[in-house]
Amino acid sequence: MINTRDHVLRDPAHLRLILGSLLLAYLMALLPWGGLLLNLQPDWLLLVLLHWWLREPWRVGQGAAFAGGLLMDLAQTGVLGVHALAYSVVAWATLRLRVRLLSFSPLGQVLQILPLLLLARLLATGAALMSGGGIPSWTYFLGGLTDVLAWIPITLLLHHFDLTRSNPRS
Amino acid sequence: MSTPEFFQRGPSPFVRLVFFGALAIAVMLIDVRYQGARLVRSALSTLIYPMQQAALLPVRVIDGAGVFFSTQRRLQTDNDELRRSLTELSARSRRVASLEQELAELRELAHMPPRPASDGVLTEVLHGGRNPYVAKLVLDRGENAGLHPGQPVVDAQGVVGQVTSASPFAAEVTLVTEQNQQVPVRVLRNGLRTLTGGDGASGTISLPFLPGGADIQTGDLLVTSGIDGLYPEGIPVATVTRIESSASRVFARITCTPVAGVARDRYLLVLTRSATVSPASASAAPAAAPTATASLSASPPTAPPPSPAAAEPAHR
């Protein structure tokens, strides 16, 4: 295990980094997006969760997915559980595909995670539909593309902070 | 040394998926079915309230800067405009006040229950809601200001929607253009009664229950009919913009455009009084009765004495 990529054998990420990034992502989602931007904005929390599912699956797993989904439902003031369901399923799928996804560079991962991100939007729409919501405009699904575009900077940035932390063993 | 944490697996991912998936579905069911879930939701919303305020801060700062740099001339124009409309409206409001008194007296004479008066709470729209599935607005006032689910929300032009949930500091308005949102209306021209139904994302309203031969024309104004006891009577809702009727369908396809600037307003009025009208009986009628009786005492003695039956809810 010498010539492996840095994510295989490395120190666990700081809890502060994990929680801080999740909080920041949630705050991004809480910004008053409106109109077209509402549908086109990336699913910030899901992307950050996705990063940690790949990098820290033992600490950020399906429980975090469920909790994050509930928080998203609160933020959207929708039916509670809609995003919790979607995120839980995507978390499971990501954890299944984890080893495979990690063998790609962030750019290569784009095509792999696009179906996952679209699945999240589809599941949330289906769950919202069953609990009395309407069908969102088609631009909502176009948001899957902004998701993967945002994925590259988000994962690179988080990875960068993860590696450049000061004195990891302390 | 203990076992490295990545060997401690716990339940398999699939088992966890089933557990959390079932939990999510249970939460959805409880949230949709049981009224008690509203308390939990309200408590949770209060928990994330500080974060929401923090997220709104940058936008407020930018807005504030915009106001600061707005030109003198624009402020002057706005001011003139407002002054003019204030003069106009105050003259009209004096007339309305006298008409209202006259109407109350006439209704009293005819042994009709007084019209429920409605009070309003002026609120500011915090943001347009973040829900892609149901179009909502989030207001800056909540239960603490007397807002409750069911209250109608209007702007200067007409009906915007209805308060559908309220936490202590914020309330959500579901717009009239939403799919499940129905408003009992009548056509102003001929008094034809029907219900509206929102069209969802397209931002229009349709009249799904009017038969093909109904007397309705493009340009007709729909106003609230007031028979639901929620929306006060006579508030404009929408104008008819397109009618498609074909022999193959029983119901005409009627598209209307909302009168109110449904998704564009900044300030909205929540009508608070009418929420006291419960679906079973018009309990707001007795509440409004004292004013009507007071106005009657000032009327000529030829008027018949106010009978208790007059205050009873006779309509519906």
Q: In chain B, what residues touch A136 (CB-CB under 8 Å)? A: 132-133, 201
Is the separation of the CB atoms in B9 and A54 below 8 Å?
A: no
- Check whether residue B236 and residue B141 sit in a common domain: yes
Q: Choose among A69, A157, A154, A61: nearest CA to A113.
A: A154
Q: Which residue has the tokens 């969802």?
A: B200
- Check whether residue B30 and residue B124 sit in a common domain: no
Q: Which residue has the higher pLDDT, A97 or B136?
A: A97
Structural domain count, chain B: 2
Query: What is the interface size between A and B, counted as CB pairs within 8 Å?
Result: 143
Q: Which residue of B has its CA nearest to A89?
A: B17
Interface test with A, best of B56, B131, B139 (most A CBs within 10 A): B131
Mean pLDDT of A108-134: 88
Cβ atoms within 10 Å of B175's Cβ, excluding its own: 26
Mark which of B51, B68, B85 sits at the end of a domain: B68
- Check whether residue B143 and residue B258 sit in a common domain: yes
pLDDT of amino acid B119: 77
Confidence of residue B275 (pLDDT cuts 50, 70, 90): very low
- Distance of residue A146 Cα from the nearest chain B Cα, in angstroms: 16
Give the range of the structural domain holding residue B20, as residue numbers without chain letter: 13-68
Q: Choose among B193, B139, B189, B197: nearest CA to B164.
A: B139
**Is B34 inside any structural domain?**
yes
**Which tokens go with A25?**
């992502």
- Check whether residue B24 and residue B173 sit in a common domain: no
- Distance of residue B11 Cα from the nearest chain A Cα, in angstroms: 11
Q: Which residue has the higher pLDDT, A168 or B224?
A: B224
**Is B316 inside any structural domain?**
no
Please check the confidence at residue B147 and state whether its pLDDT lies above 70: yes
Sign of CA dihedral B101, B105, B107, B113: positive
Confidence of residue B83 (pLDDT cuts 50, 70, 90): very high
Is the separation of the CB atoms in B144 and B222 below 8 Å?
A: no
What is the helix (H) or strand (E) element at residue A29, kind and residue range? helix A15-30
- Distance of residue B131 Cα from the nearest chain A Cα, in angstroms: 5
- Check whether residue B59 and residue B182 sit in a common domain: no
Question: Which of the residue ranges A59-68, A113-122, B194-203 would you say has the lowest mean pLDDT?
Answer: B194-203
Mean pLDDT of A50-65: 90
**Which tokens go with B238?**
């929408």
Distance CA A124, CA A120 (A): 6
Q: Write the CATH number for B223.
A: 2.40.10.340
Question: Which of the residue ranges A9-13, A78-82, B233-237 would you say has the lowest mean pLDDT?
Answer: A9-13
Give, in order, the Cα–Cα distances in Å from B280 to each of A60, B34, B283, B316: 50, 20, 9, 9
Distance CA B246, CA B232 (A): 34
Q: Which residue has the higher pLDDT, A33 or A159?
A: A159
Please check the confidence at residue A12 and state whether its pLDDT lies above 90: no
- Check whether residue B124 and residue B63 sit in a common domain: no
Is the separation of the CB atoms in B18 and A91 below 8 Å?
A: no
Interface contact A129, partner B, CB < 8 A: yes
pLDDT of amino acid A23: 93
Is the separation of the CB atoms in B142 and B171 below 8 Å?
A: yes
Interface contact A141, partner B, CB < 8 A: no
Mean pLDDT of B16-29: 91
- What ranges do the domains of chain A cover? 35-163
Give, in order, the Cα–Cα distances in Å from B158 to each of B29, B129, B154: 34, 20, 5
Distance CA B10, CA B14 (A): 11
CA-derived radius of gyration, chain B: 25
- Check whether residue B64 and residue B124 sit in a common domain: no
Say yes or no for a CB contact (<8 Å) between B24 and A125. no
Say yes or no for a CB contact (<8 Å) between A132 and B128. no
Is the separation of the CB atoms in B199 and B235 below 8 Å?
A: no
**Is B50 inside any structural domain?**
yes
Confidence of residue A119 (pLDDT cuts 50, 70, 90): very high
The neighbouring-strand residues paired with B137 are: B173
> pLDDT per residue over B227-241, tens digit each?
877 888 888 999 998
Please check the confidence at residue B216 and state whether its pLDDT lies above 90: no
Q: Given strand B236-244, what is the order of strands in its sheet?
A: B193-195, B184-187, B221-224, B236-244, B253-258, B205-206, B197-198
- C-alpha angle with apex A79: A76 to A84, nearest 5 degrees? 80
ipTM of the shown complex = 0.83
Is the separation of the CB atoms in A42 and A150 below 8 Å?
A: yes
Mean pLDDT of B18-40: 86
- Check whether residue B149 and residue B242 sit in a common domain: yes
Interface contact B316, partner A, CB < 8 A: no
Mean pLDDT of B194-206: 82
Mean pLDDT of chain B: 77
Mean pLDDT of A51-77: 89
**Which tokens go with B98?**
């006298």
Mean pLDDT of chain A: 84
> pLDDT per residue over B283-316, tens digit each?
333 433 343 333 333 344 444 444 444 444 444 3
In chain A, the percentage of residues whose pLDDT exceeds 70 is: 89
Please check the confidence at residue B1 and state whether its pLDDT lies above 70: no
pLDDT of amino acid B5: 58
DSSP state of A7: T
List CB contacts of B118: < 8 A, sequence separation 6 or more. Answer: B232, B271, B272, B273, B274
Confidence of residue B55 (pLDDT cuts 50, 70, 90): confident
Say yes or no for a CB contact (<8 Å) between B31 and A81. yes
Is the separation of the CB atoms in A49 and A64 below 8 Å?
A: yes
- Distance of residue B167 Cα from the nearest chain A Cα, in angstroms: 11
Distance CA B194, CA B240 (A): 13
pLDDT of amino acid A4: 44
Q: In chain B, what residues touch A80 (CB-CB under 8 Å)? A: 27-28, 31, 37, 41
pLDDT of amino acid B263: 62
Distance CA A86, CA A121 (A): 8
3-state SS string over chain B?
A: CCCCHHHCCCCCHHHHHHHHHHHHHHHHHHHHHCCCHHHHHHHHHHHHHHHHHHHHHHHHHHHHHHHHCCCHHHHHHHHHHHHHHHHHHHHHHHHHHHHHHHHHHHHHHCCCCCCCCCCEEEEEEEECCCCCCCCEEEECCCHHHCCCCCCEEECCCCEEEEEEEECCCCEEEEECCCCCCCCEEEECCCCCEEECEECHHHCCEECCCCECCCCCCCCCEEEECCCCCCCCCCCEEEEEEEEECCCCCCECEEEEEECCCCCCCCEEEEECHHHHCCCCCCCHHHHHHHHHHHHHHCCCCCCCCCCHHHHCCCCC
